[in-house]
Amino acid sequence: MRNRVGLFVLMGAVAMSACGDDSGGDSGPPGRGSVACQDWQDAICDFAVGCGAVDRTTCDSQYKGVECLSDQEASECSNAFNDADCAGPPLACDISDIADPAPAVDKCNTFMQRTCELQNECSDQFATLDECLTALEAASGLSCEDAIAVELGYEDCLAALDGLDCRSAIMLDQCEGVIRALR
């Protein structure tokens, strides 16, 4: 007989926005994507931190998981952020202009799939995998189609999730907020 466990609610959506200037500062951990994309991540966070809009840890958490659509656009925006003052961010350099959502959508789908596979292995709460996926989406308030970035700890989350069995704790701190959505 399988254990009855509640629905895994492991992800949270976070709206992403920032304002600031190039203050140098600690660039934090390397981000996802190309070097040009990582330069954009650092530039936007230098801008945000420099203008007092957000602390570096929060900004890195929001932006280091973004993968960029174009190295050229990322580089142009990095330069624009580096030259900007706190009067306002450069136009056409927001996350919605720079981010490639496809990798985040794929990683979100993988995360939800693995979560529901474990859920269905350990519980008869859902008759099908699709039922679990629908319930997980409703409980988290996030559709994978809205994913824009994936936290740097995503791989650690998946490894922890893969290491669970039906007797393990169902809440994983390292999975909280691993999928980010632009709202």
For the stretch 47-84, pLDDT in tens is 999 999 999 999 998 899 999 999 999 999 999 999 99
Which class for 126: exposed (0-12), middle (13-18), buried (19 or more C-beta within 10 A)?
A: middle
The predicted-structure confidence for 118-162, as pLDDT tens digits, reads as follows: 888 888 888 899 999 999 899 888 899 999 999 999 999 999 888
CA 131 to each of CA 10, 117, 164, 170: distance values in angstroms, whole numbers, following the listed order: 17, 11, 21, 18
Residues 36/78, Cβ–Cβ less than 8 Å: yes
Q: Which residue has the higher pLDDT, 79 or 167?
A: 79
**Highest-confidence range of 2-11, 26-35, 59-68, 134-143, by mean pLDDT?**
59-68
Q: What is the residue whose two structure tokens read 């920032």?
A: 18
Pair of tokens at residue 120: 């269905």
How far apart are alpha carbons 57 and 75 in whole angstroms? 22
Instruction: Please report, for the chain, the start and end positions of each structural domain, with discontinuous segments joined by +.
Output: 35-98, 101-181
Residues 90/80, Cβ–Cβ less than 8 Å: yes
How far apart are alpha carbons 20 and 111 in whole angstroms? 33
Q: What is the residue whose two structure tokens read 């056409």?
A: 92
H helical segments located in 84-153: 95-98, 101-122, 129-140
Phi and psi at residue 74, in whole multiples of 5°? -60, -45
| Nearest to 71, CA basis, from 33, 102, 45 | 33
